[in-house]
Amino acid sequence: MMERKLSEDYEEVPCDSANAVVEGCRLPVLMRSGAEYQMAEILSIKELAAMREYYVHFLDFNKRLDEWVDEKRLDPSKVFFPKKISPSRPSSPVAGDVPTLPLLATTSSTPSLNKKKKQGQKRPYDEIDRSSSQPPTPAPSPGPATPITLIKEEIPDLLSGGPATPAGQGAATTAGPRTTGSLMMHSNDDVVTRMKNIEMIELGKHRIKPWYFAPYPQELVHLPCIYICEFCLKYRKSAKALERHLLKCKLRHPPGNEIYRKNNISVFEIDGRKNKQYSQNLCLLAKLFLDHKTLYYDTDPFLFYVMTQLDNRGFHLVGYFSKEKESSEDYNVACILTLPPYQRKGFGKLLIEFSYELSKFEGKLGSPEKPLSDLGLLSYRSYWSHTILGILFTHKASGDQERPQITINEICELTSMKKEDVISTLQTLGVISYYKGGFVIVLTPEMGKNHEKSSRLTKIDPKHLHWTPKDWSKRAKW
């Protein structure tokens, strides 16, 4: 697909030097790890005193890996020019001569790059799951495996007379992580919003390098660091300005109601209408780490659930999720984020678990709003898998039943998950099979051991959740 796209919309032109490269070109660029060259698109070029720098987007990787590179990391021997430029003899560009080019979608692999690759070099995968196919569905086997029967009528989407359809191929399944470029659902993004514009932020004791563009005021964009109050989330130009702000800022926790506290973990519910300034600042901060997030100013229709860690200085922001006050699709999460310093520590799954506890209090089935970011989807898949396996491993046979029986609807009622999320998770796990005219789930001892290893010590305790759902349909329309 990518090779066809390049051949149709791009023309390969041999170049002697990187000076011939213009914005919109695609060529091999050495990744930061130095492991190998990957095809990248030149989004912007800036002239420095003695050299040029190029802002590149690696086509097969998430946009958070985009960066400025120097000429030494470019391979000009294989340059693809957009046919709209179509130079017969490319020359150094002059400012203002290059038109704005439509951005091309990249949905598959890039052409193979044999030049400058070393034996044994590997693609840096980071935390992104790049598997395009799901694990094969295992057949029920005798021995130590534990089969659980499913009622056929509960999974009509899988009734094909054969093995279950792999996740990602049916309408009811969840799409896999996007590994190509932006997660935005708009085809007309301009080059400005595709480029990271903030170099660094300081939030409390953490200095964090942003991943994506965020519409902070223009006067802050070119500063080496933006200083953000970790309690009210207001931004300042300098450490001195932040110091003066902290003398006047009275907040030591997010505004709103504290609805959960256990040990040092607290969750605050914030109304986007009543606390508009804080909610907008929170969304603006989140935009630095969420590429698909577009709305940050209209916070009235949303509730924000902010998770914090408590110490002797106050309540420190860990992450949050938002949800619509009224959702026609019964989404229990509109946007979810764990800040980078707290990632890979279980807080993401804790936020997800908290959203489902709220759904249980409401007596509804919930699901996150799609599309999820790549890391968001990985977190949800992990949570769904662990929760569903926990139910299956503890489910016992009742009465005279030879083996345990459970239905998809029963799993949904126990977890507050939507049916399509349960089905796609079972398919992704590869535990569901069509066997002798019915569907069975086959669990192996190995799965049980892995499930025990992945069990989290910290979980949401519903006894510490003090919250009453509001019927927003009966209240004023925000």
Query: 258, 269, 353, 369: which is the annotated catalytic residue?
Result: 369
> How many residues are there in the chain?
478
The region, left, alpha or beta by phi > 0 then psi within -120 to 50, assigned to residue 434 is: beta
Q: Tokens at residue 204, please? A: 């409390």
Angstrom CA distances, 113 to 30, 43, 358, 406, stand at 11, 21, 50, 50
Q: How far apart are CA 412 and CA 421, in angstroms?
A: 9
Do 277 and 229 meet the contact criterion of CB atoms below 8 Å apart?
no
369 is known as an active-site residue: yes
In Å, what is the CA distance from 450 to each residue of 167, 429, 443?
Answer: 21, 12, 11
Q: Is 269 within 8 Å of 288 (Cβ atoms)?
A: no
Q: How many CA atoms lie within 13 A of 113 on its CB side?
A: 26
Peptide bond into 102 cis (omega under 30): no
Local structure of residue 372 (DSSP, 8 states): P
- Cβ atoms of residues 37 and 116 within 8 Å: yes
Q: Identify the three-state secondary structure at position 453.
A: helix
Positions marked catalytic = 369
